[in-house]
Amino acid sequence: MNNKKKNTSTNIPTFAEQVGTKAARKLKAQRNTTPGVWFGLGMMGLIGWSVVVPTLLGAALGIWLDEHYPGKHPWTLALLVVGLAVGCLNAWLWIDKEDRAMRGSQEDNDE
């Protein structure tokens, strides 16, 4: 007996129908990529670290320079500000790149 059709007596879908349903669900999920709360929290964390790491590296280098090469002006504050500026620029460029990528994929889905 050929079991290609749906068994109507027990309403059990065939293997092909199950695969088709799962494939359709997966394609729909890929098309409707609305960022969720976890995506936003992950972005905030990633952006935060992209600012914090250069700032801390600048401060650490400034402390080391102040200890080994003391001068009229403190290196710590200057390099902390430079690290903060580099971190903010890094975050801005990363967000801009991600925004362009999201807009590009959104335009591709609209076509």
Closest Cα partner for 91 from 56, 46, 57, 58? 46
pLDDT digits (tens, 9 = 90+) for 14-63: 888 888 888 888 777 777 666 677 777 777 788 889 999 999 999 999 99
Full-model pTM: 0.59
| Residue-level pLDDT at 32 | 63
Assign 3-class secondary structure to the chain. Answer: CCCCCCECCCCECCHHHHHHHHHHHHHHHHHCCCCCHHHHHHHHHHHHHHHHHHHHHHHHHHHHHHHHCCCCCCHHHHHHHHHHHHHHHHHHHHHHHHHHHHHHHHHHHHC
| Residue-level pLDDT at 76 | 94
Averaged confidence pLDDT in the chain: 81
